[in-house]
Amino acid sequence: MIKNFEKYLFQDDFNDISSILVEETNVNLKKYLNSEILSKVDVSTIIKLIHLNGSDPFIKQEDICKVLSITKEDLLFYNSILKKSSELQNLLTTIGLASKFLKNTILPVIQSGSLDAFNKKQNYFPFKVGLFVGISCMFECTFCGRNYDAKYNRSTLDAGIEMYKKLIEEAPDNDPHRFYISGGLEPLTNPKIGEIINSLSVKKFKTSMYTNAYMLTEKLLNKNKEIFDLDYLRISLYGTNHEEYLQTTKHKNGYQQVFSNIPKYLKLKKDRGSKTQFGLNYIVLKKYTEKLEILIDKIIEINKEAGFEKNDIDFLTLREDFSVDSEKYNDQEKINLSKLLKKVDKQIKNSSFLKSLHIDYGFALDGLKKGYTKKSLADSFVTEEEFHKNFGVPHASVAVDLYGDVYMLREAAFLDRPGSKRYIIGNLIKDGSMQNIIENYNNNKFKVETKKDDIGYLDAWDHVVIKLANQDDSDRKFGIPFELGPISDKVKKVEKLSHKIHYSE
């Protein structure tokens, strides 16, 4: 690794290119280039390119030419130079603000071939498929897009379960992490949840589930022992005390029930020798940033209550509130949060009740943790113009509800969410298979008139994939597609996909 890059290049105050960086880059390039080619390279352009690409994962090649006042031919030349050095590749993909986007979504989507298939209108079983199996939900979270009165008709349960089983049968087996069980509504409200977990396990898919844990009681676990066979279980937390839970979920027993279920589940899991990787998810809301420290104390408490002598929670995913209407952190709040994240990081290393807890900071908070306080996920929201050009990439992700409806946008897949049915690209029961649905989509049989407010149907993943599709379109038109861009196309050559959904390491 070129050591001074991390220190200087991605910091907020980057403007002048220090002589140290020039020297380090020169030394590195000498390893890969002969003197004739090296003499044609302006090292400061290389450094600026790493800065631009590493700071903004969605920057278009045409815009890079404009910012650096260089021609397309120059950029093609410099991209080819960047590709030659493994250290420079490492800088591009693992250090800057873009690194989480690249690791969590961009590179996995590119590696999967789903974006290529989308462009070429090829048949492709979606890279990620959400199984939104819940029948109802006991919470009424303030930020949730669902229709609080909506419930699936119980009589459709059996047909829904058969439909999911058929879908799992149909799926190719080249990606063990293709499916995840989530909502929609609360998955544990589905009394046949165990059957779905079992069908995934039989086909050797990694099984993962998100739940609010309200129903994760001993009684339910005894009835649905398959929950202990999950590979990953992630609980969405909506506060750290009774008042916050009540305010967010509107449920008066929410806090008490969830926080008594978690240690009991952990104890049972240990007693049964279950290998499920267990984690918590917490959205760091603007008004509650300081609560993060309380959450960390809660994790210590949970471990103690479960009777453990050390931490037995595998991961904590921290997320910025990405909902379009949410209040965003101001500059001072970002600085404070950045300090807090660093403090939490230290705490984890020093407490035996926290050690081994992996924290995934997600797209936005990862940058803050690294000290980059100028940008946030909000800077990567899909714009109205981008949404009208590209309103989704079903080859990369769909969500399937209990009726078999296949939604191309994840937050549209809430039953009876006003207007969201417009984003159903097919129905697995009527259309027969996912292959038929994607084929119909490729043959332009799906039409939708997009509206500005529809952007609310996108979750963080959808935002990233749509930005990526727009970037890809622009770069192709400009004549610098991904293959000729700055990142080595070696990333495309993976034999087995292994992108995890719940958290990244």
Q: Which residues contribute to the site for ligand SF4 (CB under 6 A)? A: 137, 139-141, 144, 146, 183, 185-186, 212
Which of 295/438 has CB closer to ligand SF4? 295
Q: What is the spatial distance between Cα 192 and Cα 152, in angstroms, rounded to a whole number?
A: 14
Spell out the residues 6+ positions from residue 357 whose beta carbon is closer than 8 angstroms to its own.
Answer: 299, 311, 313, 314, 315, 316, 348
State the minimum distance, in angstroms, from the CB of residue 120 to ligand SF4.
Answer: 36
The values of phi and psi at residue 210, to 5°, are -105, 135
Which of 117/181 has CB closer to ligand SF4? 181
Which of 186/401 has CB closer to ligand SF4? 186
Contacts within 8 Å (CB) and 24+ apart, 310-313: 310/352, 310/353, 310/355, 310/356, 311/351, 311/352, 311/353, 311/354, 311/355, 311/356, 311/357, 312/266, 312/270, 312/278, 313/266, 313/278, 313/279, 313/280, 313/357
Which of 38/138 has CB closer to ligand SF4? 138
Which of 185/398 has CB closer to ligand SF4? 185
Which of 54/183 has CB closer to ligand SF4? 183
State the minimum distance, in angstroms, from the CB of residue 161 to ligand SF4.
Answer: 20
Which of 146/410 has CB closer to ligand SF4? 146
State the minimum distance, in angstroms, from the CB of residue 404 to ligand SF4.
Answer: 19
State the minimum distance, in angstroms, from the CB of residue 160 to ligand SF4.
Answer: 17
State the minimum distance, in angstroms, from the CB of residue 221 to ligand SF4.
Answer: 19
Q: What is the spatial distance between Cα 487 and Cα 485, in angstroms, rounded to a whole number?
A: 6
Which of 245/315 has CB closer to ligand SF4? 245
Torsion over CA: 388, 394, 399, 401 (sign): positive
Spell out the residues 6+ positions from residue 240 whose beta carbon is closer than 8 angstroms to its own.
Answer: 291, 294, 295, 298
Q: What is the spatial distance between Cα 305 and Cα 214, in angstroms, rounded to a whole number?
A: 18
Which of 237/466 has CB closer to ligand SF4? 237
Assigned token pair, 109: 């989507």
β-strands 315-320, 358-360 pairing? parallel
State the minimum distance, in angstroms, from the CB of residue 28 to ligand SF4.
Answer: 47
Assigned token pair, 426: 């097919």
State the minimum distance, in angstroms, from the CB of residue 256 to ligand SF4.
Answer: 16
State the minimum distance, in angstroms, from the CB of residue 136 to ligand SF4.
Answer: 9
CB 277 within 8 A of CB 232: yes
State the minimum distance, in angstroms, from the CB of residue 79 to ligand SF4.
Answer: 42
Assigned token pair, 60: 């278009």
